[in-house]
Structure 1
């Protein structure tokens, strides 16, 4: 019997890309369910997601914007009921969401407990690498494992891994916090190169503010993890 695979897509103001993202995952035969959690969007994200014709799609709209970690936890409550394997995908992947197939195969082949998507280099200049460097070095320092895609939100998990979490960490440090916990609990992670693309932050004020928040949240999560695992 084939494992039941559920994909959770947290989405905030992704009206421009959510349809494309969904249309390119629903025809992947291994995927049984796609749980879209609209994180209090002010646009038509939920409405557009609901318009995509597929019995696989379940759309939930939160009353207010509560952050990616909250949306993932909400989606997990639904996905954990039936799923053997659970994936996280961002809502802004567009047609490149189809690349999730490359993450599903190695988890089905039991190559690791968690598969993380490794993106190609960014097309436009973003930050100065502080956030990515902090994330990579912190995971290495705390676990002894060197990973390149510690910030990637595109991940596939065996259910047993997620069952070890009372809840997903909140804020922009969610991926780093989870990666540390997963490795510390003795599970294995494999990175797989994909041709995924998503909205990139540039070297403008908005981009620097975003990376500043990321940096702050990652530092905060690291402090928590250092206390938990010392």
Structure 2
């Protein structure tokens, strides 16, 4: 009888335990990087070039899983040689010898991006090739004037820019996106160029540019 009673108690425990069934409030989704599709995105750009660094914005719009259109711009200084400041005891301020203009550039580019090797590379690493064309606004202010006062004497030039580049998206988590690319700009100024340093005119405001972008998709 004690054995039978114990068996009945165990059976009741099993029946009671079977009532508690745990399940998640929402269905569990298995992470699949290949399922991430960039429909639209907007990103902040950090730019590194021979002229120093700058900042800008990038907007992309996907035509399908492999093809995207984009618009971007960035703002940076412009120079074609090292510009080292020295203390001038006569004026009591830091100066760059023989500098006659402060130069700034704002390339605005519309273009096309093609994602590559989609079937060969798994995960969130998505290499691409890219190219674009658009206007570049080049602004010069006289170096002899104080920085803010010099903007009253600013001159603006508009030139055509074009670039080609390669890069990769390397993080696609939730709605975030980040990428890096290197591109070569061609921005001819024409004529005798534009001087930052006396006697060293800049005839092409292009060159290699490294861009790192961080933003979100929507």
Bigger proportion of residues as helix: 1
Which structure has the greater CA radius of gyration?
Answer: 2
Task: Specify if TM > 0.5.
Answer: no
Flag the structure with more relative contact order, 1 or 2, with Cα contacts below 8 A and sequence separation at least 6. Answer: 1
Normalising by the smaller structure, the TM-score range is: under 0.3
